[in-house]
A and B are shown apart, each in its own frame.
Chain A
Amino acid sequence: MELSLSKEDAAFRDEVRTFIAENYPPEMRVPNPETDLTKEQMLLWHRILHRRGWIAPLWPKEYGGPGWSITQRFVFEQETSRAGTLPPLAFSVTMVGPVIYTFGNDAQKRKFLPRILSGEDWWCQGYSEPGSGSDLASVRTKALRDGDHYIVNGHKTWTTLAQHADWIFCLVRTDPAAKPQAGISFLLIDMKSPGVTVRPIITIDGAHEVNDVFLEDVRVPAENLIGEENKGWTYAKFLLGNERTSMAGIGRSTRYLDRLKRIVKSDIPEDDPSFGEFTRDIARVELDLIALEATELRVVAQMARGIDPGAAASLFKIRGTEIFQRITELTHQANGNYGLAIREHPVSANHFMPGPDYGHTASEKYLNSRKLSIYGGSNEIQRNIIAKAVLGL
């Protein structure tokens, strides 16, 4: 399914397509790019996009963005995800970058933005805390002003790829007396500061993606405060809006669905009792995907005409994650007896993994994708948002 593109946009699409084909690093084509690459390998594509000037589609031109239209941004997103490229680190480029250029001061912009673009600084997100879940305003990490510093104490959790991070952007409580949303500030903390400790959390797929981050008497220069003290919730919500726009994941689901079809075709004989049911299940999820893709294209076309997408991000998040979860579940099932096996992490060539190559990540993907309906605001929360914002309930 394609957006109807102008001649210029179609030429742009071809340019992007060719650029990916000619420049995507082959060493990043591993069975599971999200878990199998080193930090340096993950940054290869980031640096290539940076050199081309394409690393930050969302950013205004004055800060280093490419100055694309909404349609061009969408085409770029579509082409890169269809090609299965590893997206540049969202915490840096999509999340903290826009907060800094929108709410930060000039010194902060000069200090941080170029290093985000170049990949020199790796950022992680200090939002979640133990017990906070989707209720982010319940922040308990405290920041006390002490001269020209804040003293920060607290515990952040589910911090993705904090093990690689140079910086963490944190929600901290600066006014314990205020209402939950009112006493929060947005603080940038150097991960090398004394008192910052990262502890791995291993997830049910065996991978080390997320971490606990402990902050004990961490001295943070007051110049690292974004915007005004106690206004952090405004910036946090702005950032979350960016987080949720890209969760439809059409490109990824399309690739995984194609692979599922290939597995079923090669592994399940037509007279197998479940062949027909697989065919129907695949058709059902493909129809769901087409409906979501059509919805996305409709919203993009409306946005290009200046219409506010409203709570579309929540719809994309709900259906995008449900569809991908279903595809990983069916793929796990399609692997039959080999669905019993799972790769050991960290991945090493010495570990034996049975069955055909295309099935080697089926188990871990099925397990890992359970997180999708939980993080970034659980799907229950997204439904609440639609109920309130769209239906007026």
Chain B
Amino acid sequence: MDIQLTEEQELLRGSLQRLLRDQYDFDARRKIVATDEGFSRKHWNAFAELGLCAAPFQESSGGLGGGPLATMIVMQEFGRNLVVEPFFETVVLAGGLIEDAGTPAQCEAYLPPIMGGESIWALAWAEARSRYDFSNVDTTARRQGESYVLSGTKAAVIGAPWADKLIVSARTSGGPRDRSGVSLFVVDRHSPNLHLQGFRTIDGRRAAEMTLMNVQVLAEQLLGAEGEGVAVLEACRDRAIAALCAEAVGAMTELNSSTLEYSRTRKQFGVALGTFQVLQHRMVDMFIALEEAISFTHHLNLSLAAREPHGSKLASGAKTKVGYAARFIAEQAVQLHGGMGMSDELNVGHYFKRIASINTQYGDPTYHLMRYAQA
């Protein structure tokens, strides 16, 4: 199942690696995170110019036709460099939803600015008490003539403070937690009566709690069939998981190599740390965990690319397996770096935090373990 990248994919990876090496080292990233806005438009534009934002979309939509494997390549490099710019939110989540569920008119209106890097999106599905359940939606959307009127509160919307547009889930019919009756809407971030309360995330991004008080959207901003939003979100989650696993693999790769390097150079009791057998075995387990995570991530992305059945169950399996592996590696990388692993100055702790965040987004490893078992 070893993935042989095509020439085109190698090119994509190579040019992205060069860009990140030249412009996105840990210091540059630290400065970006510390700015008022919290991400860099300059780097975002550079990513778009490289074609990243168009890479996964089908050629018929105007994309480069790279599919899940292109996303995987990008996310893995982003994971290695702790990139904060909203590729995942804009391209993988919103772009994927629009391409999957949008009308031709919606695709034509929304996808080109996404592919060109001109518009930034965020996905608002969670609510204060929803946990990871897409059908647990209290926000309502009432039909009013040619419009819908949205009211409610969405929780922990990552990237919302940066977004031009949002995709919001709201209930058009049914009772709380009914699977049917949830619909998706494209909402302008600057709509009247839409308020954000921003906060920083554990991994240096920005997110917001979002209140909608009678926000009016046109009927043509309904994305996908009315009341069928949960299934659309579930398919979106499979793609999201594939992307997050790739990002986690990138972060784990860096953690393993810095830990190994550290254990070779750092002396304790007169000898290199790496000479202690207990630490050797720990690092062997970290190596094995990474190998398994890479394999599972490839396996999932190939399945999604081939549109194989049971992809969703496999996605939950990957989120579990890769999530536990990533947590193990992150915890041990901090442990083996000792006090330095706790310091904000070293990148190790920042990989730890990104992995903690990945393990929270779209369901933690335990949630997906049980979903896998029950599927």
Contact = CB atoms under 8 A, between A and B. Distances in A.
Contacts of B201: 340-342
B128 interface: yes
A260 B267 CA distance: 39
Contacts of A276: 370
Contacts of B342: 203-204, 370-371, 374
Contact of B367 (A158, A274, A380): A274
B335 A267 contact: no
A378 B209 CA distance: 40
Given A374-B338, A375-B339, 8 more contacts: A135-B268, A138-B269, A202-B344, A274-B370, A337-B132, A341-B199, A344-B200, A352-B198
Interface string B45-78: 0000000000000000000000000000000000
B92 to A, nearest CB: 17
Contact of B156 (A338, A352, A378): A338
Nearest to A344: B200
A355 B200 CA distance: 13
B193 interface: no
30 contacts: A128-B339, A131-B267, A134-B338, A138-B269, A203-B342, A204-B334, A204-B344, A206-B344, A272-B133, A272-B367, A274-B367, A277-B369, A333-B366, A336-B364, A337-B130, A337-B131, A337-B360, A338-B156, A339-B202, A340-B357, A341-B156, A341-B201, A341-B207, A351-B199, A367-B349, A367-B352, A370-B335, A370-B341, A374-B339, A383-B278
B197 interface: yes
Interface in B199-246: 199-203, 207, 209
Q: How large is the interface on B (under 10, 10 to 19, 20 to 34, 35 or more residues)?
A: 35 or more
Interface string A364-388: 0011001101110010100100000
Given A131-B267, A342-B200, A332 B338 contact: no
A268 interface: yes
A378 B337 CA distance: 11
Given A202-B344, A337-B360, A134 B349 contact: no
Interface in B271-298: 276, 278-279
B331 interface: yes
A322 B105 CA distance: 56
A273 interface: yes
Contact of A267 (B129, B209, B266): B129
A354 B209 contact: yes
Interface centre among B267, B279, B344 (most CB of A within 10 A): B344
Contacts of A203: 342-344, 349
Interface centre among B199, B345, B369, B370 (most CB of A within 10 A): B199
Contacts of A342: 200-202
B278 A133 contact: no
Contacts of A268: 131
Interface in B311-339: 331, 334-335, 338-339
B184 interface: no
Nearest to A375: B339
A353 interface: yes
Nearest to B327: A329
Interface of A: 128, 131, 133-135, 138, 157-158, 201-204, 206, 210, 267-269, 272-274, 276-278, 281, 332-333, 336-342, 344, 351-355, 363, 366-367, 370-371, 373-375, 378, 380, 383
Nearest to B282: A380
Given A337-B131, A374-B335, A274 B364 contact: yes
A133 B268 contact: yes
B158 interface: yes
A370 B341 CA distance: 9
A202 B357 CA distance: 20
B171 to A, nearest CB: 17
B360 A336 contact: yes
A277 B334 contact: no
B339 A352 contact: no
A158 B366 contact: no
Contacts of B335: 370, 373-374, 378
Contacts of B29: none
A274 B268 contact: no
A353 B364 contact: no
Contact of B199 (A131, A352, A378): A352
Contacts of B189: none
B202 A337 contact: no
Interface in B121-168: 126, 128-133, 155-156, 158
Interface centre among A339, A344, A371 (most CB of B within 10 A): A339
Given A272-B131, A333-B364, A380-B279, A134 B268 contact: yes
B6 interface: no
A61 to B, nearest CB: 38
A341 B360 CA distance: 11
A-B residue pairs, 7 tightest by C-beta: A204-B349, A273-B370, A337-B156, A202-B344, A274-B367, A339-B360, A342-B202
A203 B350 CA distance: 10
Contacts of B279: 380
